[in-house]
Amino acid sequence: MKSIDDLVKRFEKWQKDIDKEVMEAQRETAQQILQDVITYAPVKTGEYIASIDIDGPTKEDNTISTFIGSDLTVEAKSTNKSYNLGYLLEHGTLPHAIPNAFNWGVIYGFDSEQYARTLRYNWHPGMYANPHYALALEKNRKLYKDNIKRTWRSKWH
C-alpha cells in the first residue's frame, strides 16, 4: 500500500463488491420467497397471484431493500378509498358495517337508527386472515442468512 488514498480506493471497491453480492443474495432469496408466497396465497380467479411481483433490490444510503407484493386494490365505494388486496388477505378484516349498501350515505353514530338497521341488514362478517407473506418470509429466513453469510465469507477469505 502506497498511501491512505490507495487504502480508501481499495475499501470503496470492496464496499461496491459487497453491495453487489448482497444485492444478488437478496435477489436469490426474493425469488424463493416469491414462489412460496404464490404457493401459500389464496386462489379464486388467479388474478391476485398473477399480480404478485418483486421490485428491487434497491440500495438507498446503507439499506438494501426488496418489495414483494401485489398492486391490486379493493375499492370501498362508500368512502372512495382503496385498500391493498394483499394486505387485506394477509391480515383479514374485522366485521364491519357496509354504510352505503342501501344508498343511505355514511352512517354517523353507533346509536342511530340507520346504524341499528345496518347491524341487521348490511353487516359484512369480516374475513379471516390468510397469511401467505409471513409464512414465506419465515420459511426463508435461514436461506437469507445463509446467502448473506456466503457473501461475507467470499470477501473475507
pTM: 0.74
- Which pLDDT score is estimated for 114? 57
pLDDT by residue (tens digit) across 53-102?
999 999 898 888 999 999 999 887 666 788 899 999 999 988 776 665 55
CA-nearest of 56, 68, 73, 67 to 22 is: 56
For residues 136 and 130, what is the distance between their CA atoms, to the nearest angstrom?
Answer: 12
pLDDT of residue 7 exceeding 90: no
- Which pLDDT score is estimated for 21? 87
Identity of the highest mean pLDDT range in 102-106, 127-131, 146-150:
127-131
- What three-state secondary structure class fits 25? helix
3-state SS track over 50-77: HHCEEEEEEEECCEEEEEEECCCEEEEC
- Which pLDDT score is estimated for 121? 54
- Which pLDDT score is estimated for 100? 56
- Which pLDDT score is estimated for 95? 79
For residues 66 and 84, what is the distance between their CA atoms, to the nearest angstrom?
Answer: 18
- Which pLDDT score is estimated for 150? 85
- Which pLDDT score is estimated for 113? 63
pLDDT by residue (tens digit) across 17-55?
888 888 999 999 999 999 999 999 999 899 999 999 999
- Which pLDDT score is estimated for 152? 74
- Which pLDDT score is estimated for 155? 62
Which residues 6+ apart lie within 8 Å of 93 measured at CB?
124, 126, 127
Between 114 and 8, the more confident residue is 8
Cis peptide before 57 (omega within 30 of 0): yes
Domain boundaries, the chain: 4-72+130-156, 93-126
For residues 35 and 39, what is the distance between their CA atoms, to the nearest angstrom?
Answer: 6
Between 126 and 89, the more confident residue is 89
